[in-house]
Amino acid sequence: MRVHYIQHVPFEGLGFIETWLKEHQHTITVTRTWAQEAFPSMTDFDVLIVLGGPMGVYDDHLYKWLGDEKNFIFDSIKDEKPVIGICLGAQLLACVLGATVYTNKVKEIGWFPVDFDATFAEWLGAPVPGKLTVFHWHGDKFDNPYGGVMQASSAACNHQLFTFGDKMIGLQFHLEANSSSVAEMLKYGAAELIRDQFIQDENEIAEYQSFDEPNELMANILRKLCTSSK
């Protein structure tokens, strides 16, 4: 499969996803929006991954590429591409599908558990734990797009994961996180780490470092969507 991803800032990359794609010999291409790189033609890729970033989905006045990106995601959906949205990417996917994105009541930064609905295992076609501690870094929240299914929640945010049809998934949290990607986010996002109920400090985040189960769940999502076809 030819997998294209959209990267919004240099310090939020593919993480574990890159490892998995390379191990399974998928082709990887990228659009770096901060570098004003062009989006590819629909004929040039098979799967789209939209990564996170500190901007918001409605910040078009600050980021001139944002409107073009929404159009590109919309065109990818029309072309029946599998789409994975992570954090900002999930919010963009929800927005393009017609849902509202807005500020959550609290920020959620650090290692916190999410509860999965049993229907998520049915969608994935693989076992899913009822509860899993995963890495978060978000302050916004999406509503469920009409026709979507909300399938995970946490104490801080009841809308953590939605699926739409058989080929699209939006995740607020970072199943792709590995030690390198978390270190980069801590380096560039330190100003946000103001200790609160759902914000851990740098030491707490750095000490937990439990990636195996989240990465395996990410691998199962990739297995499902990177073997999909029209």
pLDDT digits (tens, 9 = 90+) for 63-81: 999 999 999 999 999 999 9
Do residues 48 and 30 lie in contact, with contact meaning Cβ atoms separated by under 8 Å?
no
Residue spans of the domains in the chain: they are: 2-225
Residue 102 has pLDDT above 50, yes or no: yes
Residue 30 has pLDDT above 50, yes or no: yes
pLDDT (average), residues 131-149: 97
pLDDT (average), residues 176-192: 94
CATH hierarchy code of domain 2-225: 3.40.50.880
Report the distance separating Cα 94 and Cα 83, nearest Å: 11
**Of 99-103, 187-191, 216-220, which range is least confident?**
187-191
What SS3 state is found at 90? helix
Residue-wise pLDDT for 141-157, tens only, equals: 999 999 999 999 999 99
Supply the angle between the helices 16-23 and 212-225 in degrees, to the nearest 10.
Answer: 50
Report the distance separating Cα 144 and Cα 94, nearest Å: 7
Residue 230 has pLDDT above 50, yes or no: no
**DSSP-H helix ranges across 152-225:** 179-188, 202-208, 212-225
- The confidence score (pLDDT) of residue 108 equals 98
Report the distance separating Cα 59 and Cα 204, nearest Å: 31
